[in-house]
Amino acid sequence: MFAAWWFDWFIVHTVVLTNFNLPLTAALTDSLVCNGLLAACCWLVGNNMRYYLPRVERYWYILVISIVMSTAWLFLIKLVLRLIFSEDEQYLQLLKQSATIRFWIAFLLVGCMAMMSLLWYSQKEQQEMDARKTEAEKLARDAELYKLRQQLQPHFLFNSLNSISALTGSQPEKARHMIHQLSEFLRGTLRKEEQHWNTFEEELQYLQLYLDIEEVRFGHRMQTELISSDEALKLKLPSLLLQPVVENALKFGLYDTTGDVLITLKATAEDNYLKIVVQNPFDPETSQPLKGTGFGLSSITRRLFLLFARHDLLKTQKDNEHFITTILIPQTI
């Protein structure tokens, strides 16, 4: 584009000079010298903007650089053309008379080049800054997501180890079985840490391992019911999302109640969403599920916001003596 512009301007310059009864050879020589040097000046200005962008008073900078370059250009072409046409009085007179218009044409062209270069490189720099900012935000978001996932495990791990310790003396066989399950659970956790998304079917397999461990702790008191449609099994959700939801249900369902407790998890596909509903009983006299849903649910709310920039994907409600947690996972991946 740069070369095409100067070629066109070279033709225009030559035609204008021939209209002033200047021989074609002289017009071509004048046009070649003037436009060659002016193109070099514009290239210098554009290249300068590539490596140095004025931050303050940039428009004053453009004005000054345009005046300086145009003045230097006019001095050079006068010097060169006078040497070439030293014996052509008619041409030298034309050169003297056209000095002012030549200066202002050069000033406008250099100024336009400076302005376009400023806008181009400023936009390019802004795009690079936006890209770096986006990458930094992504790294920060991934780091926060990783931290949230890591914070979920210690509480469950300590409880499991305490249960294993209690079973070691009275029921060693059950303790060994629980150690094996805990080992499989942690191995699965490490594998899933490398993945951001899993199918709901894969998450159910992981969740079942977690429930098997908890069943050893709570025995016959804990009963679970997992219901899902075939379509829902194929949908995707963030990895390691279900365990803290069920752990929260166990916390309010088993810790503050007596007798058998049924924890229900139901998953359906609705309008390009994976809808997961977890329900657990609670005792209104001893539990405050709506005021203190614990770190688990708050971490999920934060995680969903980091992934989807939405605060409405996790909802909790109380229905008679049941606490219900509803999660919507958009299928946008």
CA-based nearest residue to 245, from 308, 156, 167: 156
How far apart are the C-alpha atoms of 104 and 263, rounded to whole Å? 83
Domain-wise residue ranges, the chain: 2-131, 171-330
Residue type, 139: L
Res. 293: pLDDT tops 60 = no
How far apart are the C-alpha atoms of 13 and 35, rounded to whole Å? 8
At 15 the pLDDT is 86
Least confident of 119-128, 148-157, 241-250, 286-295: 286-295
Res. 292: pLDDT tops 50 = no
At 268 the pLDDT is 93
The matching CATH number, chosen from 3.30.160.250, 3.10.450.50, 3.30.565.10, 3.40.1010.20, for 171-330 is: 3.30.565.10
Q: How confident is the model at residue 56 (pLDDT cuts 50, 70, 90)?
A: low
pTM of the model: 0.56
> Long-range contacts of range 151-160, CB-CB < 8 Å, 24 or more positions apart?
151/295, 151/299, 152/240, 152/243, 152/244, 152/247, 152/295, 152/296, 152/299, 153/189, 155/247, 155/295, 156/210, 156/243, 156/247, 157/182, 157/186, 159/217, 160/213, 160/217
Least confident of 50-64, 117-131, 171-185, 222-236: 50-64
| CB within 8 Å of 192: residues ≥ 6 apart | 198, 206, 239, 240
For helices 99-170 and 89-97, angle between their N-to-C axes, nearest 10 degrees = 50
At 85 the pLDDT is 85
Q: What mean pLDDT value characterizes the chain?
A: 81
How far apart are the C-alpha atoms of 77 and 318, rounded to whole Å? 87
At 314 the pLDDT is 92
Q: How confident is the model at residue 221 (pLDDT cuts 50, 70, 90)?
A: confident
Q: How confident is the model at residue 265 (pLDDT cuts 50, 70, 90)?
A: very high
CA-based nearest residue to 327, from 284, 277, 291: 277
pLDDT digits (tens, 9 = 90+) for 33-53: 888 888 888 888 888 878 777
Q: What percent of the chain lies above the pLDDT cut of 70?
A: 85
Least confident of 9-18, 68-77, 218-227, 246-255: 246-255
Q: What is the CA radius of gyration of the chain?
A: 38
Most confident of 47-61, 124-138, 299-313: 299-313
Contact 300, 164 (CB under 8 A): no
